[in-house]
Amino acid sequence: MASEAELRKRNTPKSTNADLKSEQKEQQPKAKPNAEGSRAQESALSSTAFIVLAVLGAAAVLVYLNPAVVTETVYEFFGFDTDAAPVEPTRAGFVADVEKRDAVKAAFRHAWLAYERDAMGDDEYHPISHKGTNLTEAGGIGYTVVDSIDTMLIMGLQDEYERARKWVAEKLTFEQDANFNTFETTIRVLGGLLSAYALTNDSLYLDKAVDLGDRIMPAFDTPARLPTSMVNLAQRKGVRAEDNKGLVSTAEISTLQLEFRYLAYLTDNDEYWDAVENVMRTIRSSSLTTGLASIFMNPEDGRFVLSAIRLGSRGDSYYEYLLKQYLQTNLTENVYQEMYNGAMDGVHGHLIKKGQYSGMTYTSELIPERNPRGEIQWRLMPKQDHLVCFFGGSLMLGAVTSGAVRHPVSIPPRPSELTPRGKRDWQTGVELIETCVQTHDTATGLAPEIVHFRIPSDNVVGSGVPQDWYIKGAEPWAPAPYDARYILRPETVESLFIAYRLTGDDKYRRYGWKIFQAIETHCRIESGGYASIINVDQVPVVHEDKMETFLMSETLKYLYLLFEDDSVLPLSEWVFNTEAHPLPIIDAARKANF
């Protein structure tokens, strides 16, 4: 942070003195040799000079502290499309908010130390009963430890990190004869190991990642080469999930790519790359003409199965990884840009909606139904999962990369730096983030798991303008529905972090701080750890005895980075996997081959 003297120095713009002098020059010939008049004129002159200096000084302070506000004002004044192309991109002046950043770091320690005390090495933590559990009876696979390691490195928690590393070195084994979810194991454990390796260059993590990757690879042995939902790590065997008739989730099979591609890059073993690229090839050849993807596929024939289309569960990270694969290889694999652009056109054409009362931007789902004649019709369901809140930040990130005329763009981007698609996506991204922030307008200040938006057929009665969104089934006399929970999810703060990095607009930090304070007030367990709550609209809250691993891997990491200097993990050099594990942008010789 600049000292006051430094600020003052910077805030005395050169033009101010010059302007003042020319003003004085102009005034001199008009002055009458009358003493009183001359005193009056001198005093008028010095008040004018004072006002000019004060206004220019205030403007300079504003520009220095928050360039985005000024840029936005200028954009708004002249209209979004009227600016001239800059020769050089502009950049917001990011400074860490040390106090808030360190408050988040303290929260991480509060979570980690409780877990370490009560459950070190167990996959999951229950902070109220002070217990840990494993995902299977066979034993743990480092779900919480590995998911948390890179956050410790980023936060500079050296002692905690050393102990976690020791556990990985001495206790972590994947020789567990049980079925583990292919997607979750990849994004949390493989992603965590690869990120730890990228941040430290410590071969321990790469060796473990290779071991785990090799055990997951047999999951791809299906007729269509789409990975099974589960994998037995000791038997090295893919296992069809009993639920969903052996079908696979689109998001789950298309959210392994960053991890396996980076593993291939590090090891020069193209088999990892081929396995995940095959999945993308199959998806592309089976895709709907709208660019959208149904949430289930059949691993037998590689085709989409008639099922819902949404940006929430089972759909979300398909869209996220289209963009991130394009980012991972530094915008060189055009097929991902093409798929991403097609998907974003589909999303805008079919899923983006406006609330009927306050005009909030939200995303709907499409549900396939058969009409009485047996024809398929798609019904719009105005339901938005908390999970969808990653999408605002993702759209903004896509706008400044896939949707940019040239790279890098200014911070925030100037309209002339974005393509029409980029401008559209930026605008929708900004609006969706506002919507997600507004869904925190609850008794606790935390957003529910699922919100519904009102549509005209709801026939809302009563006076006044109702809020655009509501929690379905939430009635004062009834038990809280599933939708009303907050389970420490990261998606809104993830978007706030990205939006802040791309704009420098302090409002994103203010939103993030409010959410952090609500977590502190309602989810923090005094004896250690944080717990989910079962109803965001009930105070005092009722806790659920679970601390999801993504609190430490994602929620607190994104909050920390929101208040950190932007030289830490710049978005031009790192791409975050869907569990917030940063992986470097790579100059891979290998490119998409389809």
> Which residues fall within 8 angstroms of residue 39, CB to CB, at 6 or more apart?
none
The reply to whether 322 sits near ligand DMJ by the rule CB under 6 A is no
Q: Is residue 578 part of an annotated ligand binding site?
A: yes
What minimum distance in Å lies between the beta carbon of 440 and ligand DMJ? 15
The reply to whether 258 sits near ligand DMJ by the rule CB under 6 A is no
The reply to whether 317 sits near ligand DMJ by the rule CB under 6 A is yes
**Please, what sign has the CA dihedral across residues 210, 214, 216, 217?**
positive
| Count of residues near ligand DMJ by CB under 6 A | 8
Identify whether 449 is a catalytic site residue. yes
Q: How far apart are CA 50 and CA 34, in angstroms?
A: 24
263 CB-side CA count, 13 A: 31
Nearest residue (beta carbon) to ligand DMJ: 578
Q: How far apart are CA 417 and CA 408, in angstroms?
A: 9
Q: Which two tokens stand for residue 86?
A: 């800059």
> Which residues fall within 8 angstroms of residue 491, CB to CB, at 6 or more apart?
386, 387, 388, 389, 390, 436
Q: Nearer to ligand DMJ by C-beta: 282 or 495? A: 495
Asked if residues 227 and 256 have their Cβ atoms less than 8 Å apart, the reply is yes
Of residues 82-101, those binding ligand DMJ (CB under 6 A)? none
The one among 216, 433, 579, 592 contacting ligand DMJ by CB under 6 A:
579
What minimum distance in Å lies between the beta carbon of 4 and ligand DMJ? 42
Amino acid at 309: I
- Of 386, 513, 362, 388, nearest to 447 by C-alpha is 386
Among the listed residues 316, 468, 548, 579, the single catalytic one is 316
Q: Nearer to ligand DMJ by C-beta: 410 or 578? A: 578
Q: Is 40 exposed, middle or buried (0-12, 13-18, 19+ CB in 10 A)?
A: exposed
103 CB-side CA count, 13 A: 15
Q: Nearer to ligand DMJ by C-beta: 298 or 394? A: 394
The one among 71, 178, 578, 581 contacting ligand DMJ by CB under 6 A:
578
Q: Nearer to ligand DMJ by C-beta: 413 or 490? A: 490
Q: In a 3-state reduction of DSSP, which class is residue 254?
A: coil
For ligand DMJ, what does the binding mask look like between residues 369 and 408, x meaning CB under 6 A? ------------------x---------------------
Q: How far apart are CA 269 and CA 261, in angstroms?
A: 9
Q: In a 3-state reduction of DSSP, which class is residue 40?
A: helix
What minimum distance in Å lies between the beta carbon of 490 and ligand DMJ? 6
Identify whether 316 is a catalytic site residue. yes
Q: Nearer to ligand DMJ by C-beta: 500 or 550? A: 550
Angle between helices 420-438 and 390-399 (to 10 degrees): 160
What minimum distance in Å lies between the beta carbon of 170 and ligand DMJ? 27
Q: How far apart are CA 348 and CA 400, in angstroms?
A: 17
What minimum distance in Å lies between the beta carbon of 496 and ligand DMJ? 15
What minimum distance in Å lies between the beta carbon of 555 and ligand DMJ? 8
Neighbouring C-beta atoms of residue 63, cutoff 10 Å: 16
Of residues 415-454, those binding ligand DMJ (CB under 6 A)? none
Tokens 């995303």 -> residue? 363
Q: How far apart are CA 409 and CA 401, in angstroms?
A: 8
Residue 385 to residues 362, 426, 445, 533, Cα–Cα distance (Å): 10, 21, 17, 16
Among the listed residues 97, 491, 554, 564, the single catalytic one is 491
Neighbouring C-beta atoms of residue 570, cutoff 10 Å: 12
Of residues 464-503, those binding ligand DMJ (CB under 6 A)? 489-491
Of residues 33-72, those binding ligand DMJ (CB under 6 A)? none
> Which residues fall within 8 angstroms of residue 268, CB to CB, at 6 or more apart?
none
Amino acid at 154: I
Identify whether 537 is a catalytic site residue. no
Identify whether 42 is a catalytic site residue. no
- Of 458, 579, 481, 466, nearest to 537 by C-alpha is 481
What minimum distance in Å lies between the beta carbon of 579 and ligand DMJ? 5
For ligand DMJ, what does the binding mask look like between residues 544 and 563, x meaning CB under 6 A? ------x-------------
Q: Nearer to ligand DMJ by C-beta: 68 or 387? A: 387
Angle between helices 556-563 and 143-155 (to 10 degrees): 10
Q: Is 181 exposed, middle or buried (0-12, 13-18, 19+ CB in 10 A)?
A: middle
- Of 176, 188, 183, nearest to 233 by C-alpha is 176
Q: How far apart are CA 546 and CA 531, in angstroms?
A: 5
Q: Nearer to ligand DMJ by C-beta: 189 or 571? A: 189
Among the listed residues 124, 320, 449, 554, the single catalytic one is 449
What minimum distance in Å lies between the beta carbon of 188 and ligand DMJ? 7
What minimum distance in Å lies between the beta carbon of 485 and ligand DMJ? 12
Among the listed residues 160, 184, 320, 385, the single catalytic one is 184
What minimum distance in Å lies between the beta carbon of 319 and ligand DMJ? 11
Q: Nearer to ligand DMJ by C-beta: 150 or 491? A: 491
> Is the omega angle on the peptide bond into residue 540 within 30 degrees of 0, that is, cis?
yes
Strand (E) positions, 122-181? 124-126, 131-133, 179-181
Q: Nearer to ligand DMJ by C-beta: 183 or 426? A: 183
Annotated binding site for Ca(2+): 578
State the catalytic residues: 184, 316, 449, 491
Binding site as annotated, residues: 578
Binding stretches for ligand DMJ (CB under 6 A): 317, 387, 489-491, 550, 578-579
